[in-house]
């Protein structure tokens, strides 16, 4: 058995393991296969490529779609990629790909044409608009998984540049209340611990941004005994952090005592070189939920001597002799050096992606270009199915309660 075959076999085992914890997606896959709504469509999956995502790809193919997969290098789990390739999927993903190679693979992914694109970070959606305008003109639509992807898509729409309807999967409650808070919060903190073999108890952990991801990171870090400091632009979110028991201050104020810094804004330049210069020797920088663009990686590369000190940890020695430790080369660490978010959480998010594909296939022809929400009844259906599977039940809505809800 070749190395690739060994990786594919290991990948299949992990995909099967993930499927055990994804009953909602399994049920949706069965229904989509029966309905035939996706049959014959070309669907591109441009999401973090790991075992849970592989189950989405299988679900879409079982529903009759022609499915291809793309993922940027550090977010690609090679065993999963090899398993999908061995199972006949067109896979455009290599774990060790450079930025230039990622772009080459993305172009190859788009070249045959797509009817529907399921995207993460909107990078491929934007690339398609720039370089494949004829294909975009024929597309039914796309979906977007992340906060950092929905934001530029709304900006594109405001500028009149977005030419297709895009379903904002990220904005569904059954996505951001679970995937962002519990999933990304847990997996980013746990990946940091796995990669560094350190503990957080007693350390000053600075969380830059207190959106859904930042609040989840702060919650899990605090649960492990960290002294959490939050930096935030929004006074309401800053007040929320304060009421959650965290200290709140500017990053310049927090920097001198920072031992671990999680950038969790999804915004480029969230942490600057000037702010890092205020941090102590040995400070650890990581990105949660976004990408290396949140950290001053160009400045670190230009001014520091980079040495890999253990897998997933790069030490940058400054001219002064001070060191800065960067996790996963600044990429989102739970995807680059972990296995992504927990299976049960991704069952919700990837179920929404499958339902978004169905919505686009059946309804998007009547939608204008722009960013569209997941219907409330759709996200509630996902929640109800997961509750049912987990043995939970809802309080019945009696006529008296319904009257009380609408009374004035």
Instruction: State pLDDT tens for residues 198-234.
Output: 999 999 999 999 999 999 999 999 999 999 999 999 9
Identify which of 209, 207, 117, 206 has the alpha carbon closest to the alpha carbon of residue 169: 117
Is pLDDT of 319 > 90?
Answer: no
Would the pLDDT of 259 be above 90?
yes
Q: Which residues contact 113 (CB under 8 A, 6 or more apart)?
A: 42, 135, 138
Domain residue ranges in the chain:
3-175+341-389, 180-336
Say how far apart CA 17 and CA 37 lie, in whole Å.
28
pLDDT band, residue 290 (cuts 50/70/90): confident
Mean pLDDT of the chain: 96
Mean pLDDT of 258-270: 96
| CA proximity to 188, closest of 334, 351, 336, 406 | 334
**Residue 246 pLDDT grade (very low, low, confident, very high; cuts 50, 70, 90):** very high
Over residues 333-368, the pLDDT tens digits come to 999 999 899 999 999 999 999 999 999 999 998 999
Q: Burial-class residue 247 by CB neighbours within 10 Å (0-12, 13-18, 19+).
A: middle
Please give the average per-residue pLDDT across 241-246, as a whole number: 98
Q: Binning pLDDT at 50, 70 and 90, where does residue 1 land?
A: confident
**Fold identical between 3-175+341-389 and 180-336?**
yes
pLDDT in tens, 71-122: 999 899 999 999 999 999 999 999 999 999 999 999 999 999 999 999 999 9
> What pLDDT score was predicted for residue 207?
98
Candidates 249, 172, 238; CA nearest to 210 is 238
Label residues 255-270 b or e (16+ Cβ within 10 Å = b).
beebbbbbbbbbbeeb
In this predicted structure, what is the pLDDT of residue 289? 85
Picking from 262, 331, 337, the residue whose alpha carbon sits closest to that of residue 292 is: 331
pTM of the model: 0.92
Q: What pLDDT, on the 0 to 100 scale, is given for residue 318?
A: 87
**CA end-to-end span of the chain:** 71
- Cβ atoms of residues 41 and 116 within 8 Å: yes
Assigned CATH for 3-175+341-389: 3.40.50.1480
| pLDDT higher than 90, residue 304 | no
Tell me the pLDDT band of 243, cut-offs 50, 70 and 90. Answer: very high
Identify how many contiguous H helices and E strands the chain contains and give both numbers: 19, 15
Distances (CA, A) of 75 to 56, 120, 350, 391: 16, 11, 16, 34
Please report, for residues 5, 56, 376, the alpha-carbon distance to residue 357 in angstroms, rounded to integers and kept in the order given: 31, 11, 16
The full DSSP string for 138-167 is H--EEEE--HHHHHHHHHHHHTT---SEEE
Q: What is the mean pLDDT of residues 119-126?
A: 96
Q: Phi first, then psi: what are they for 355, rounded to 5°?
A: -70, -30
Asked if pLDDT for residue 320 goes beyond 90, the answer is: no
Residue 66 bridge partners (DSSP): 42
Instruction: Using the predicted structure, report yes or no on whether residue 135 has a pLDDT greater than 90.
Output: yes
Residue 313 neighbours by CB under 8 Å, 6+ apart: 195, 196, 325, 326, 327
The structure tokens listed for 210 are 């207190």
User: 306 — alpha (psi -120 to 50), left (phi > 0) or beta?
Assistant: beta
Where are any strands of DSSP class E within 102-253?
A: 116-119, 141-144, 165-168, 204-208, 227-231, 247-248
The answer to whether domain 180-336 has CATH 3.40.50.720 is: yes
Element at 212 (helix H, strand E): helix 212-223
Beta-carbon contacts of 369 under 8 Å, excluding residues fewer than 6 positions away, are: 157, 162, 163, 164, 165
Mean pLDDT of 270-286: 97
Under 8 Å CB-to-CB from 136, ≥6 apart: which residues? 128, 129, 163, 164
Please name the residues in contact with 46: beta carbons below 8 A apart, sequence gap of 6 or more.
Answer: 69, 70, 71, 106, 109, 117, 118, 119, 120, 123, 124
Contact assessment for residue 265 and residue 332, using Cβ atoms and an 8 Å cutoff: no
Contact between 340 and 346 under an 8 Å Cβ cutoff? The reply is yes
What percentage of residues in the chain have a pLDDT greater than 90? 95
């Amino acid at each position: 058995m070749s190395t690739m075959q060994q990786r594919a076999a290991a990948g299949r085992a992990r995909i099967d393991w993930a499927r055990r914890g994804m009953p909602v997606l399994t049920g949706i896959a069965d229904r989509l296969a029966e309905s035939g709504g996706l049959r014959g469509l070309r669907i591109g999956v441009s999401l973090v490529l790991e075992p849970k995502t592989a189950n989405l790809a299988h679900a879409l193919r079982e529903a009759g779609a022609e499915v291809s997969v793309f993922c940027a290098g550090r977010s690609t789990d090679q065993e999963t990629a090899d398993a999908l390739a061995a199972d006949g999927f067109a896979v455009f993903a290599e774990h060790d790909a450079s930025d230039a190679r990622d772009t080459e693979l993305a172009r190859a992914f788009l070249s045959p044409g797509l009817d529907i694109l399921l995207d993460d970070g909107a990078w491929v959606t934007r690339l398609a608009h720039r370089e494949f305008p004829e294909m975009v003109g024929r597309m039914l639509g796309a979906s977007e998984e992340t906060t950092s992807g929905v934001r530029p898509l709304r900006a594109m729409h405001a500028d009149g540049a977005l030419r297709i309807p895009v379903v904002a999967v990220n904005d569904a409650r059954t996505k951001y209340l679970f995937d962002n808070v519990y999933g990304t919060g847990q997996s980013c903190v746990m990946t940091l611990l796995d990669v560094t073999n350190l503990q957080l108890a007693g350390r000053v952990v600075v969380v830059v941004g207190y959106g859904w991801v930042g609040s989840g990171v702060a919650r899990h870090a605090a649960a492990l005994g960290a002294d959490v400091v939050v930096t935030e632009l929004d006074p309401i979110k800053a007040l929320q952090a304060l009421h959650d028991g965290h200290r709140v201050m500017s990053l310049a104020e927090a920097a001198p005592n920072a031992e671990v810094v999680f950038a969790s804004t999804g915004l480029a330049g969230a942490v600057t070189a000037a702010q890092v210069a205020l941090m102590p020797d040995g400070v650890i920088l990581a990105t949660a939920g976004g990408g290396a663009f949140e950290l001053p990686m160009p400045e670190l590369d230009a001014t520091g001597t980079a040495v890999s000190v253990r897998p997933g940890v790069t030490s940058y020695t400054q001219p002064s002799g001070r060191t800065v430790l960067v996790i996963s080369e600044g990429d989102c660490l739970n995807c680059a050096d972990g296995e992504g978010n927990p299976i049960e959480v991704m069952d919700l998010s990837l179920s929404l992606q499958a339902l978004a594909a169905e919505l686009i296939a059946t309804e998007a022809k009547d939608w204008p270009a722009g960013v569209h929400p997941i219907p409330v009844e759709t996200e509630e259906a996902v929640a109800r199915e997961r509750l049912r599977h987990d043995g939970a039940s809802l309080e019945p809505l009696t006529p008296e309660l319904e009257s009380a809800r609408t009374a004035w």
